[in-house]
Structure 1
Amino acid sequence: MSIWWSLHLRREAASVPLARRLLLGTMETAGVDPDISYDLSVALSEACANAVEHGGDVARGASGAYRVTAYLDGEKCRIEVTDSGPGFARPPALRAARMDAEHGRGLCLIRELADHVHIGNKPGRAGTVVSFDKMLKWTKDPTLLTA
Structure 2
Amino acid sequence: MIAPDPRDVDVVELVIPARPEIVSVARLVVGAAVAMDPTFDEERSADLRLAASEACTNAIEAQLARRNAADADKPIVLRCELGPESIVLTVQDHGGGFDPDSLPDRPEVTDPARLDHEGGLGIPLIRLLSDELEFRPTPGGTTVVMTFGPDPVSGRIDG
For Structure 1 versus Structure 2, the TM-score category normalised by the shorter chain is 0.7 to 0.9
**Structure 2 residues not aligned, in runs of 5+:** 1-7, 108-113, 152-159
Aligned residue for 1:58, secondary structure, equals coil
Cα distance change, pair 117–89 in 1 and its aligned pair in 2 (3 A): closer
Q: Measure how far apart 1:126 and its partner are.
A: 1.3
Aligned residue for 2:56, secondary structure, equals helix
Q: Is the 8 A contact 1:96 1:108 kept in 2?
A: no
Cα distance change, pair 47–90 in 1 and its aligned pair in 2 (3 A): closer
Aligned residue for 2:115, secondary structure, equals coil
Bigger RCO (CA 8 Å, 6+ sep): 1
Of Structure 1 and Structure 2, the greater strand share is in 1
Q: 2:141 aligns with which of 121, 124, 127?
A: 127
- C-alpha distance in 1 between matches for 2:32 and 2:146: 19
Cα distance change, pair 74–54 in 1 and its aligned pair in 2 (3 A): same
- C-alpha distance in 1 between matches for 2:88 and 2:124: 17
CA distances 1:36-77 after superposition (whole Å, capped 9, x unpaired): 111111111000000111125132112322110010110100
Letter in 2 for 1:14: E
Partner of 1:80: 90
Q: In angstroms, what is the RMSD of aligned CA positions?
A: 1.9
Cα distance change, pair 21–102 in 1 and its aligned pair in 2 (3 A): same
The alignment of Structure 1 onto Structure 2 pairs a total of residues equal to: 135
Q: Measure how far apart 1:27 and its partner are.
A: 1.6
Partner of 1:60: 69
- C-alpha distance in 2 between matches for 1:90 and 1:36: 25
**Structure 1 residues not aligned, in runs of 5+:** 138-147
Q: 2:42 aligns with which of 31, 34, 37?
A: 34
Q: Is the 8 A contact 2:26 2:78 kept in 1?
A: yes
Aligned residue for 1:99, secondary structure, equals helix
- C-alpha distance in 2 between matches for 1:40 and 1:90: 20
Q: Measure how far apart 1:89 and its partner are.
A: 5.1
Instruction: Note if 1:99 corresponds to 2:106.
Output: no
Q: TM-score, normalised by structure 1?
A: 0.82
Q: Measure how far apart 1:102 and its partner are.
A: 2.7
Letter in 2 for 1:88: F
